[in-house]
Amino acid sequence: MRRALAIAAKDVRERIRDRSAIVVGIIAPLGLAAIFSFVFNPIQSFSFSATYAVVNQDGGPASTVFVDQVLGAMEASGAVDVVATGSVDEARRLVEEGADPFGSGEGVDGAFVFPAGFSDLVQSAQPAGFEVIINDGNGAGANVAVAMARSYASQLDSVRLAVATAEHLGDTTDRLEAGARAAAMPQPVDLVDVPAAVKQLGDTTFYAAGLAIFFLFFTVQFGVNGLLEERNNGTLSRLLVAPITRPTILVGKMLTAFLLGMVSMILLAIATTLMFGAEWGNPIGVLILIVAGVVSAMGIMAVVAGFARTAEQAGTFAGIIGVVLGFLGGTFFPIAQAGGLLATLRFLTPHAWFMQGLGDLAGGNLADIVPSVVALLLFGLVTGSVAMVRFRKGLQP
């Protein structure tokens, strides 16, 4: 083992001396993470805005609550502009034409139409309805209008049901009072929206981790290509004649790859946390994922080196494979959100499992990363075994 360590120490010294590992393993991913973080963060601060028309022919409490409290609150936050219109036809025209009533550059995304007597029908537990006029081409604003209307209608249904039930049971309370009491009751099922940042990685963390795992595959290459470089230097013959076993040479090279990979990943995790505010998660979980990620990268890149004839050829192969796996694995953009076949295929890459593991760690606990860790280690074990067979064959006298 001491001699394997001597080989690894020599290799690391060479890599530090020629600066290649520092550039590929630390500077490049850190620089790109900084650029991505600065470029994409303004886009993420984009906020929703829409313009809605309202036709309130009812004027009763059920429609007034929606207009004043629901739309009013959104208007107060600046997310929504509300324009009151006198007729359904006018509202429809505004929506269809995408008119810009405030000259803000935004057309009307939808219109809410409350017919006369709407509130009375609700309070008397009679069938009632209001209209939402949208133009399919208006996108998010139109969709939000429909969602708001459905949500409000659902709440009104609860009130109507409560009033009807009370009447059926012989409650003599005034309908208005009963309706008010029903509306004030808490909902039986309360959906708690978990903030997205807790379930998945934040943007800065995503790019920091994505670029780290992407460049990891190039960093470990400096170790696994070691045998090819020894051959290139002519020093392989000296190693083979020395009083050490051939497996010792292989262990030394793998140690080099492991050390470079670990140092690169740990430094990047620390640096992106301190410099860009990335949140990698529980340090123990992150460390476990990094170890598993390094093992998987070593295995895959060792196979590449095992089938290459020269270090240059291995570098070319590794470049192609690293980029393809990196993109497919979603290290540059969250490919899972693309859905379909790509979202499934990404799990053929260690990159996706690593990102998945970090996401699971962010929204859960250590046990949640087990599937990702197992998958990463399996990648390393299977590909590493193939590589070892190739390497040992290459070292045979």
Partner 1 sequence: MTYVLECHDLHKAFGDLVAVDGIGFHIAEGETYGLLGPNGAGKTTTISMVTGLLERDAGEVTLDGEPLTSSTTEVRRGIGLVPQELALYPDLTATENLTFFARLYGMPRPLARRRIAEVLEVTGLADRAGDRVEKYSGGMKRRLNIGIGLLHTPRLLLLDEPTVGVDPQSRNAILESVERLSGEGMAVLYTTHYMEEAERLCDRVGIIDHGRLEAEGTRHELVQMVGQRDRVRLTASGPLETVSTTLATLPGVRQAGVRDGGIDLIVDDASALLAGILATVAEGGVTVSGVDIDEPDLESVFLHVTGRALRD
Interface with partner 1 by CB under 8 A: which residues? Answer: 2-3, 6-7, 10, 13-14, 17-18, 233-235, 237-245, 396-397
- Residue closer to partner 1 (CB basis): 12 or 265: 12
- Residue closer to partner 1 (CB basis): 382 or 395: 395
| Tokens 């067979």 belong to residue | 389
Question: CA geometry: angle at 24 spanning 308 and 284, to 5°?
Answer: 105
CB of 252 to partner 1, least distance (A): 10
- Residue closer to partner 1 (CB basis): 20 or 143: 20
CB of 262 to partner 1, least distance (A): 22
CB of 1 to partner 1, least distance (A): 12
CB 395 within 8 A of CB 315: no
CB of 226 to partner 1, least distance (A): 11
Question: CA geometry: angle at 359 spanning 362 and 267, to 5°?
Answer: 80
- Residue closer to partner 1 (CB basis): 239 or 335: 239
- Residue closer to partner 1 (CB basis): 195 or 234: 234
What span, in angstroms and rounded, lies between the C-alpha atoms of 80 and 29? 40
CB of 264 to partner 1, least distance (A): 19
Q: Which long-range contacts (CB under 8 A, 24 or more apart) does 181-188 make?
A: 182/158, 183/155, 183/158, 183/159, 187/158
Amino acid at 186: P
What span, in angstroms and rounded, lies between the C-alpha atoms of 272 and 270? 6
CB of 236 to partner 1, least distance (A): 8
- Residue closer to partner 1 (CB basis): 11 or 109: 11
Sheet holding 110-114, edge to edge: 80-84, 50-56, 110-114, 131-134
For helices 140-168 and 175-184, give the axis angle rounded to 10 degrees.
Answer: 120
CB 215 within 8 A of CB 318: no
- Residue closer to partner 1 (CB basis): 21 or 289: 21
- Residue closer to partner 1 (CB basis): 77 or 237: 237
CB of 268 to partner 1, least distance (A): 24
DSSP string, 88-152: HHHHHHHHHHT--TTSSS----EEEEE-TTHHHHHHTT-----EEEE-GGGTHHHHHHHHHHHHH
CB 63 within 8 A of CB 119: yes
CB of 377 to partner 1, least distance (A): 31
